[in-house]
Chains A and B, each alone.
Chain A
Amino acid sequence: MIIDVHAHIWDSNIESDKYREMIAGCRRYHIDRLLVSGLIGGYGPDHEDIIASNEGVLGLCRLYPDLVRGMVYVNPNHPDSVEIIRKYLSYPEFVGIKLWVAALCDDPCVNPIVEEAIRQDVPILLHTWFKKVGQLDHESTAVHAANIAKRYPEAKFLMAHLGGNYYHGIKAIRDCPNVWVDNSGTPIECDAMDYTLKNVGSERILYGTDLPGGMLNCLAQVDECSASQEEKENIYYKNALRLFRRLK
């Protein structure tokens, strides 16, 4: 079994070729569950963008009910974020919350979102990337992820992209037992997984891709790393089933 915990739609046209290809990729490469969030509206989505993102994901879940599950996307700067989370988590298709780059993930405006996640017992997927060039103003790094995880030790966080640059990302969160990581979108350096395994162990690593791109290199990273078969099963699906309690 393989669960891909990190995929996106970028527009509302969920029946377009781009998303048909994404689904076809899942079929060809034997992905059993795909956790999708909508990122419509660029770096600072407005209310309509947020609604369009979540409605698009709900539509995709219903188009492919055997495969797709949703992550509620919110902009922490909006006063109705918690209301939106409650609305979409009332649908059984949604299994978690997604934050991207509208605010740093340790900004106080994120606190009510984390508190709602704790109440509903769902994880929060945090985009993180430490970049030598091109860092966005409100783009979180693993240091921000560690800050929020320490502030809310009872919350569960999934830090995306191994922190982007895994040398910056993994050691920042290794002592935060409530932070898991996914290998989505990472450059295909073949040592990234082994480095992560060595520092946080197989029980905190989840398989992700950042679809609609990057499926094969993320599969290759897991298949090629030195993890045992049991550890690879943790990465491919067992950890996801433990972390996402609503996931069936």
Chain B
Amino acid sequence: MKKIDVNVMGGHWPFRKLYKEGAANMREYYAAEEVEWGLMSSFNSVFFQDAFEGDEDLNEQIRQIGSTRMVMTVNPKIPGWQKDLEYECEHFRICAVKVLPQYHNYGLEDDDFNELLAKLEEKRLPLMLVMRLEDIRNSYLWPVGSLDTDSIRVLVKRTSIPVILLHALVGEVKLLADLLDGKHDFYVDTSGMRGATFPIEELLNSVSEDSILYGTSYPMLSEKASVYIIEKAEIADGVKEKLFYQNAKKLFCL
């Protein structure tokens, strides 16, 4: 079944070797799993003081991969992101903006974040919120926590743009289930949905089939884990197709 992966990563993760990073591996993954489009952001842009320089490198990597749209990473606490956003919209054809408040040390009520949110609303660009990049227990140099669901709830209710929550656990998704009803412009990806035996069936009891997107965090996390939770679920093929492909195609106009 063809797929759109809304959460793939380029560049380098600084704390360990990623065995499957790089354009060739990404192309191989796309071919093996019938990924028609990948939405890619940069590890480097999380850790570089100037995120734009990470995105410039990512743009080169994306050229080598093909079938990939860029997700811009913004740290609104660093001055100058406004002009970078304009540039990346025009030259990199970004399809969303990703933020990592817990890595960049601000909250979703922060004035700088609100300025970014207003700009995204003006441009009608979706916002990707990263719940976590790794399990905090296994952090190396310093522990980085996850976002709290209450602040996400407030954000989703006050913004008019689509919000996509990445790498949320099944339990966290359940806490936000009332907003994942297909009426709010709010979505989750599958990359963190571990820890349940039948995660998709369990979530579809309270979450709309229109609100779940196939996303892997590849090459950081197992892509097969996300494939399996949809593929092996006892749900209609039409629902699987929505989760793997149609929901993302519609949301990102691919």
Contacts and interface: CB of A to CB of B under 8 A. Distances in A.
A195 B220 CA distance: 13
A28 B234 CA distance: 10
A149 to B, nearest CB: 23
A1 interface: no
Contacts of A211: 197
B225 to A, nearest CB: 4
Contact of B194 (A132, A195, A214): A214
B238 interface: no
Interface centre among A29, A190, A195, A211 (most CB of B within 10 A): A190
A132 B138 contact: yes
Contacts of A217: 194, 222, 225
Interface stretch (B13-21, B93-101, B121-129): B13-21
Interface in A197-228: 211-217, 219-221, 223-224, 226
B143 interface: yes
A195 B19 CA distance: 9
A226 B139 CA distance: 25
Contacts of B136: 132-133
Nearest to A219: B228
A80 interface: no
A191 B223 CA distance: 11
B131 to A, nearest CB: 14
A161 B190 CA distance: 22
Interface residues on A, range: 20 to 34
B222 A220 contact: yes
B135 interface: yes
Contact of B16 (A28, A132, A167, A223): A167
Contact of A220 (B20, B139, B227): B227
Contacts of A62: none
Contacts of A133: 136-137, 139, 143
A190 B138 contact: no
Given A28-B232, A131-B137, A22 B225 contact: no
A165 interface: yes
Contacts of B138: 131-132, 164-165, 167, 187
A189 interface: yes
Interface in B210-242: 218-225, 227-229, 232, 234
A190 B137 contact: no
Given A188-B221, A224-B222, A224-B223, A216 B137 contact: no
Contacts of A22: 197
Interface in A1-48: 21-22, 24-25, 28-29
Interface in B135-166: 135-140, 143
Contact of A25 (B197, B218, B221): B197
Given A191-B16, A213-B195, A134 B137 contact: yes
B142 to A, nearest CB: 8
Contacts of B224: 190, 219-221, 223-224
16 contacts: A25-B197, A28-B198, A28-B232, A131-B137, A132-B139, A187-B138, A188-B221, A189-B222, A190-B224, A194-B19, A212-B197, A213-B196, A213-B197, A214-B194, A219-B228, A220-B227
5 shortest A-B CB distances, which residue pairs? A220-B224, A25-B197, A220-B225, A187-B135, A190-B222
